[in-house]
């Protein structure tokens, strides 16, 4: 089973530009979550999409947005980039349910996209 794919792996932008990052989840997973990792703030939850709908949202400004397509692939967009947006952006592919009477909850992370804003 293929893992979580994130593209591109590295990106350099300048202040004021916008950027779109992509995440392809594990086949069969319908939930995709996005996280921002910085040395100062650590790992912070951005948002989660499930079946093309935003199900959970973190405390980020409206410049950060996302969407999910019918094949569960997700994109996140950051508009009007600021220097502080430089970070590793991680995508997580997740699924939960019950199998054989036992509940499961699994989340797998992609390798991340390293965004540098100059």
Candidates 78, 92, 115, 117: give the one binding other proteins (CB under 8 A): 92
Q: Is 8 in the site for other proteins (CB under 8 A)?
A: no
Q: How far is the CB of 102 from other proteins (least distance, A)?
A: 7
Residue 31 lies near other proteins (rule: CB under 8 A): yes
Question: Of these, 19, 87, 112, 115, which contacts other proteins (CB under 8 A)?
Answer: 112
Spacing of C-alpha 2 from chain mean position: 17
Going 43 to 49 to 50 to 55, the CA torsion angle's sign is: positive
CA–CA distance, 43 with 1 (Å, rounded to integer): 27
User: Can residue 50 be called a binding residue for other proteins (CB under 8 A)?
Assistant: yes
Distance CA 72, CA 44 (A): 22
Question: Distance (Å, rounded) from C-alpha 3 to C-alpha 75?
Answer: 17
Interface residues with other proteins (CB under 8 A) are 4, 31, 33, 35, 42-45, 48, 50, 55-56, 58, 90, 92, 94, 96, 102-105, 107-112, 114
């Amino acid at each position: 089973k293929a893992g979580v794919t994130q593209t591109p792996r590295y990106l350099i932008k300048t202040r004021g530009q916008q950027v779109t990052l992509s995440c392809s989840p594990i086949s069969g997973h319908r939930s995709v979550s996005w996280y921002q990792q910085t040395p100062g703030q650590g790992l912070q939850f951005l948002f989660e999409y499930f079946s093309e709908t935003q199900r959970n949202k973190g405390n980020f400004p409206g410049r950060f947005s996302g969407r999910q397509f019918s094949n569960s692939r997700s994109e996140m967009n950051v508009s009007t980039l600021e220097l502080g947006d430089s970070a590793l952006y991680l995508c997580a592919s997740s699924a939960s349910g019950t199998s054989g009477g036992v509940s499961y909850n699994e989340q797998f992370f992609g390798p991340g996209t390293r965004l540098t804003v100059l």
